[in-house]
Amino acid sequence: MTWTIIILLAVGVASLRLLGMYGGTALVRRVPMFERLGSLIPAAVVSAVIAQLTFASGKSLTIDARSAGVAVAAVLIWRRAPIIVVILAAAATTALLRL
């Protein structure tokens, strides 16, 4: 990874963020339906990230120790456990299953 690549990657990522903040927000404000859509985007997009981080192994899907850790976290979240407990339990479960 050269300096040019780092800068290109950074400029691209920053541009997408600024485009969303200015272009995306303007669009959402002009079309009333998009306003509600905007409030639903975090749930849809973050869930997709969770699915990818939990089940993806390269280009395939897998259920492994990491998935079990996230499943334990899900139960604790459902039981309204504090976030620290949730993430420590997820890590501990995953690590123990990998012993």
Partner 1 sequence: MSGTSTSARPEWGTLIGIGLTFFAIGVTVNVLVYEHVGSAVKTIAAAGIVLSATSELAYVAVRDVGGSVLAALIAGWVVASRFGLLAASLGTRIQVGHLQRSCAALNCLDPNVGVAMQQATPKGVITAFWWVTGALHLGWWCGTFTGVFLGNIIGDANRLGLDAVFPALLLAIIANLLRQKPGLIAALVGGGLCAALLPIAPAGTPIILSLTGAVVALKVPEPKAALS
The binding track of 64-93 with respect to partner 1, each residue x by CB under 8 A or -, is -xx--xx--xx--x--x-xxx-xx-xxxxx
Residue list 21-50, contact with partner 1 (CB under 8 A): 21-25, 27-29, 33, 35-50
Our finding on whether 61 is near partner 1 (CB under 8 A) is yes
Our finding on whether 63 is near partner 1 (CB under 8 A) is no
**Of residues 39, 46, 11, the one with CA closest to residue 25:** 39
φ, ψ of residue 57 to 5 degrees: the values are: -135, 95
The strand pairing partners of 56, in sequence order, are 61
DSSP assignment letter at 59: T
Our finding on whether 51 is near partner 1 (CB under 8 A) is yes
CB of 63 to partner 1, least distance (A): 11
Applying CB under 8 A, the site for partner 1 has a residue count of 72
Strands (E), the chain: 56-57, 60-61
**Of residues 45, 48, 90, 99, the one with CA closest to residue 81:** 90
